[in-house]
Amino acid sequence: MKRILSAYKDLIGIIYAEAPFMVILTFLFAIIGGLLTPLGVFINQRIFDGGLAVAAGDMPFSSYTLYLILFVIV
């Protein structure tokens, strides 16, 4: 494991020397992608539960539109 981490450190160091902006963006987008996954699961749950509530008449459609908009964005 130590050898693999050392190899990745060397590789990232070489790439960072040539294109530091690309390394920073790669890590930034990896973090953002990791955060969007649980958010997508939460939104999908609200879409299904809210859709059933709207169909049953327990929830007004206006309360449901926020989750529809978030579903399209995410």
pTM of structure: 0.64
* Number of domains within the chain: 1
Residues with Cβ within 8 Å of 30's Cβ and at least 6 positions away in sequence, in order, are none
| Helix, strand, coil percentages, rounded to 5, for the chain | 90, 0, 10
Rounded distance between C-alpha atoms, residue 17 and residue 4, angstroms? 20
Distance (Å, rounded) from C-alpha 24 to C-alpha 35?
Answer: 17
- Report the pLDDT value the prediction gives residue 8, as an integer from 0 to 100: 86
Query: Which residue, among 11, 25, 51, 23, has the nearest Cα to 67 in the 3D structure?
Result: 51
Region for residue 59 given its phi and psi (left: phi exceeds 0; alpha: psi -120 to 50; beta: otherwise): beta
Residue 6 belongs to domain spanning? 2-73
Residue 34 has what pLDDT?
94
The pLDDT value given to residue 74: 83
pLDDT tens for the chain, 74 residues: list them: 889 999 988 988 898 898 899 999 999 999 999 999 999 999 999 999 999 999 999 999 998 999 999 889 88
What pLDDT was estimated at residue 21? Answer: 92
